[in-house]
Structure 1
């Protein structure tokens, strides 16, 4: 394959404007070492994907950053403050949607605001805005069991955006939807990244998805998860979705990553 517009691949990266700092993170579960000495920085306003073989610790690292799982060693800082648990500056989008089955779309989207004591009128205004942004107008009064899997995931994404967190943590958010919806979600995500100017940390198993949506890709090694490579895709985001997926830079980056991962796959 012609090596045009290749991505930049390097062993480490730092950024003076990093909003999330990961320092020397280790994680063990009993005698299983999940992560070893992970050092990373996540830049403000960018989307970084954690990618690697199954069991490499991608979701574990995401949950440590979220404050949902404690590290065995090391520390996480967000906006310069050490993470000791969940906080309002971070919002998590779960793979399994994690919606309240007894609550409407509107109540689910507004629930984080309700927990923060935001008044009802303001909750409705903010929730309505993000329901519109994710394409669920007309479904405000529906319950999760009345929605498709893709629509339920849109509710989860709208809920995460509604609380105005600085950092959005997304754990394989599109894995439960079909390929057509997945591609549409990827395009919508890029639009929201550009619109919201938040910091996104994204976990996926899909190389193609990672290259399509990411400003940066962090490759983790098999367990114990360590930083293997950091890749900066050189993708022209002004091109149409179809043109991006046909672009030599996109295709070459997908192949480079696969070359680095193929020997880890059984």
Structure 2
């Protein structure tokens, strides 16, 4: 699939390095000496944008995310964040996990402020920051609640607020909306677009949903089946000034979804 003659898709051009927050350079990952998860992958993540990693199950999306986050070591190649090599977790990156990863014994505000607590930030200061992001994700009034008192969607909002509160340059989201119902998922997608616009951070977003990737992404990296490599970089050329309902019915949006599905269809068993 190419963008030639197609107004729904745009392929990326080389961006100045200062505009790149994360660079993946010739990265391979081999598990146990036999399983090739990633194969010589090279990919740039533009600063202040949301990039989705999209591809068939088992294609290495989460593996790549964990390598960028410093939770896994690559077998070869290099990851650069703001021009500096990644050699482990760091304050410039924050995770939002699929399973929420909240502390069940801590209140919402304690969970959101926990990263700042680990950094030794004074309680009054960290709670002020936490309250700001609790409000930003729509949870004002729930500061003193515990995770078991919240719905799944609300717990995921807590996880997102926690990642935002540490003021990391790069947010890594591993299928953060997969455990919620469709109505909540759509609202999350709209809220995520607002956060990308207002926070000016770099979001790297793993999803299995083509529709979701097209709706939320500035660019989409299509990954091929294992050993994973980048098939294509796509920039959805959709009009985000129209209402969410109108956007989801827009012919350009629908055409982009269908063209990506045509590319990925052969990898679905």
With normalisation by structure 1, the TM-score equals 0.97
C-alpha separation between the residues in 2 aligned to 1:218 and 1:4? 18
* 1:19 and 2:21 correspond: yes
The list of structure 1 runs, each at least 4 consecutive aligned residues, that deviate by more than 4 angstroms after superposition, is none
Tell me the number of residue pairs that the alignment of Structure 1 and Structure 2 aligns.
262
Contact residue 25 and residue 42 of structure 2 kept, 8 A: yes
- The Cα RMSD (Å) is 1.1
Q: Which runs of 5+ in 2 are unaligned?
A: none
Q: Name the CA distance, whole Å, in 1 between partners of 2:265 and 2:26.
A: 27
- Structure 1 residue 249: deviation in Å? 1.2
Structure-1 separation of matches of 2:125 and 2:255: 47
Matches within 5 A, 1:55-70: 55-70=58-73
8 Å contact from structure 1 (residues 22, 41) kept in 2: yes
1:50-103 CA distances to partner (integer Å, 9 max, x unpaired)? 000000000000000000000000010101110000000000100000001110
Contact 1:131 1:155 in 2 (8 A): yes
Q: What SS does the aligned partner of 2:168 have?
A: coil
Instruction: Give 1:200's match in structure 2, choosing from 198, 203, 207.
Output: 203
TM-fit CA distance, 1:14: 3.3
Q: How far apart, in 2, do the equivalents of 1:42 and 1:108 lie?
A: 29
Instruction: Give the Cα separation in 2 of the matches to 1:106 and 1:122.
Output: 12
The residue number in structure 2 matching 1:251 is 254
The gaps in structure 1 that reach 5 residues or longer are none
Structure 2 length-normalised TM: 0.95
Report the secondary structure of 1:169's partner residue: strand
Task: Judge conservation of contact 1:14–1:40 (CA < 8 Å) in 2.
Answer: no
**Residue of structure 1 in register with 2:215 after alignment:** 212
1:73 aligned partner: 76
Q: Is the 8 A contact 1:5 1:248 kept in 2?
A: no
CA contact (8 A) 2:8 2:238 kept: no
* Contact 1:21–1:41, Cα closer than 8 Å, also in 2: yes
